[in-house]
Amino acid sequence: MKRTLLFTAMVLAGFIGRTQQPNTLTKKERKEGWKLLFDGHTTKGWHTYLRDTVGAKWQVQNDALIFDPSQPAAGGGDIVTNDSYENYELRLEWKISKGGNSGIIFDVQEDPKYGATYLTGPEMQVLDNIDASDNKKQNHLAGCLYDMAGDSTVSKPKPVGEWNEVRLIQNKGHLSFWLNGIKTYDGQIGSDEWNNMVANSKFKNKSFSDFAKVAKGKIALQQHPGSSQWRNIKILLL
């Protein structure tokens, strides 16, 4: 019996030892061509939208990139990747505070004539579905194509304080979203279906005249009410 218990403990110890560390790539991922967009230690590769550096509200702590609203107001703003991306698969994990709200905005055209990332880029919503104030519309729930598509049948975020897994694929304008393994959206930018969704959303307004016009751009993590945390941000070019 003692030998059986010892063997079991050794197996468990070996399994734990093989658990992948956050913000690292496996040999398989490196061979496939995946690249980390967050190294777990610095904000290298990112900057605040329309600025050269990352604001003080964005901190790196405990292997996570954290938006901390308690920091000075001047240190805020959405952060964007230094590089632009067109055809890719993006994977990441996010965690939100109670009542928190954020988003993954992509195809962002960084230009001073656009005062915010969301004027040009669509968004995959990040939200505490239970306590966030922006939980009234079905297509505003976590994992949805913000204000355009999705509802509670596909929005299944984990409880506040737990990590959620995202897959976002854009290939020749075709978008697919997954949240925790559940597909939350699939469609083509610029299609009749897409244009109809835009026409029935906030993005029909004049201020969004260049919204989602280019299926290529920078990827942004959004400043919004509450604290958000991000890790294991990686990309595969297609």
- Cα distance between residue 133 and residue 163, in whole Å: 21
- Cα distance between residue 178 and residue 201, in whole Å: 22
Full pLDDT tens readout for the chain, 238 residues: 545 444 444 444 444 445 789 999 999 999 999 999 999 999 999 999 999 999 999 999 999 999 999 887 778 899 999 999 999 999 999 999 999 999 999 999 999 999 999 999 999 999 999 999 999 999 999 999 999 999 999 999 999 999 999 999 999 999 999 999 999 999 999 999 999 999 999 999 999 999 999 999 999 999 998 999 999 999 999 9
Q: Is residue 6 part of a domain?
A: no
Q: Is residue 1 part of a domain?
A: no
- Cα distance between residue 137 and residue 158, in whole Å: 19
Q: What is the predicted pLDDT for the residue at 20?
A: 86
Q: Is residue 40 part of a domain?
A: yes
Q: Is residue 178 part of a domain?
A: yes
Residue 14 vs residues 23, 25, 143: alpha-carbon distances, Å: 21, 19, 35
Q: What is the predicted pLDDT for the residue at 73?
A: 73
Q: Is residue 4 part of a domain?
A: no
Q: Is residue 41 part of a domain?
A: yes
Nearest CA to 185 out of 197, 194, 177 is that of 177
Question: What pTM value is reported for the model?
Answer: 0.91
Q: Is residue 193 part of a domain?
A: yes
Largest CA-CA distance found in the chain, in angstroms, rounded:
74
Count of structural domains within the chain: 1
Nearest CA to 125 out of 185, 181, 83 is that of 185
Q: What is the predicted pLDDT for the residue at 18?
A: 52
Q: Is residue 87 part of a domain?
A: yes
CATH number of the domain within which 74 lies? 2.60.120.560
Q: Domain residues for 159? A: 25-237
Cα angle, residue 175 at apex, residues 171 and 181 outer, rounded to 5°: 110
